[in-house]
Amino acid sequence: MNDSAMTGEARLKARRNRLWAFSGMGFLIAIIVGLATGFAGDLYEDGSLPAWSIYAIWALVVAAFTWFTISYFRRVDELDLMDNMWATLIAFYFYVVAMPSWYMFDIIGLAGTPQDKVIYLATLAVMFIAYGARKLGLR
């Protein structure tokens, strides 16, 4: 069927399905790349892989992530883009408050040393919660 002959709802559904497929494929590739980079890290630690290859893998992964991000934002509509931007801004604000706060509490002896992985995962959680809230219409 010709795209121009489709109804607006049908075009929107097809576009949404393509976006879900693109995002799902990106997620699957990210899992595979994560496993592969972990394996490469083990090979480097064993002395089987030279250091330059880790840098090359890192550069390829960053380039692929950048390409995916640009492609993703070209595929989403203005509302999805706005929801993404709000979620990332809220997550950034969380990080800007959480990291120095934890560091301050550590310095004065009220908390342990800041844990980067905890703050990283908490920032991601805040971003996904903010994005979900936006999608639910909680603006």
- Domain definitions of the chain by residue range: 7-76, 78-138
Distance CA(37)–CA(31), nearest Å, equals 10
Q: What are phi and psi of 130, to 5 degrees?
A: -65, -40
Q: In the predicted model, what is the mean pLDDT of residues 97-102? A: 96
Averaged over 21-41, what is the pLDDT? 93
Model confidence at 44, pLDDT cuts 50, 70, 90, reads: very high
User: Rounded to two decimals, what is the model's pTM?
Assistant: 0.74
Distance CA 130, CA 85 (A): 10
Measure the CA–CA gap between 26 and 68, rounded to whole angstroms: 7
Q: Report pLDDT for 137.
A: 86
Decide: 87 and 59 in contact? Cβ < 8 Å: no
To the nearest 10°, the Cα dihedral for 24, 26, 32, 35?
A: -110
Q: Where are the alpha helices (DSSP H) in 47-115?
A: 51-75, 78-107
Contact (Cβ atoms closer than 8 angstroms) between residue 25 and residue 75: no
